Amino acid sequence: MLVSGKYSLIRQSLHDIRNVPNSCEKAISIIGKKFSPFLDDNLIPCFGFGDASTSDHDVFSFYRDERFCNGHEEILSRYREIRPNIQPAGTTSFAPIIEMATKIVDQSGGKHHVLVIISDGQTVSKD
């Protein structure tokens, strides 16, 4: 049973796909519009985490070949494509997504990056 949003979103998940943008899509759009002027190549690494397949130990790329999204519009489009196939899970750990972000920074030669995490549920702490 998905309890996230039980009270704050009128018993709807942050990720419900409907005719109007959900809360997650709104966040992606707002953040994307604000950060896009600072992107040299418009490529944005996008990963999901905390679902039934990754649990609290892995992430999944928005694309199977792990390519980056070209702008926040592509993030929104891809999110709408993959969301129906993602099964929500219980508590979420940020550790896997932070580890992936660190890996991306290392591979970029230490270029500056900004990690944006959008989460809909209870998080857990890993020591």
What pLDDT score was predicted for residue 124?
A: 66
**Per residue in 61-120, pLDDT tens?**
999 999 999 999 999 999 999 998 988 877 788 999 999 999 999 999 988 899 999 887
- Average pLDDT taken over every residue of the chain: 84
For 32, the 3-state DSSP assignment is helix
What does the domain layout of the chain look like in residue ranges?
Answer: 23-124
What pLDDT score was predicted for residue 3?
A: 46
**Model pTM score:** 0.80
For 99, the 3-state DSSP assignment is helix
Q: How far apart are CA 4 and CA 88, in angstroms?
A: 10
Sequence-distant (6+) residues with CB within 8 A of 7 are none
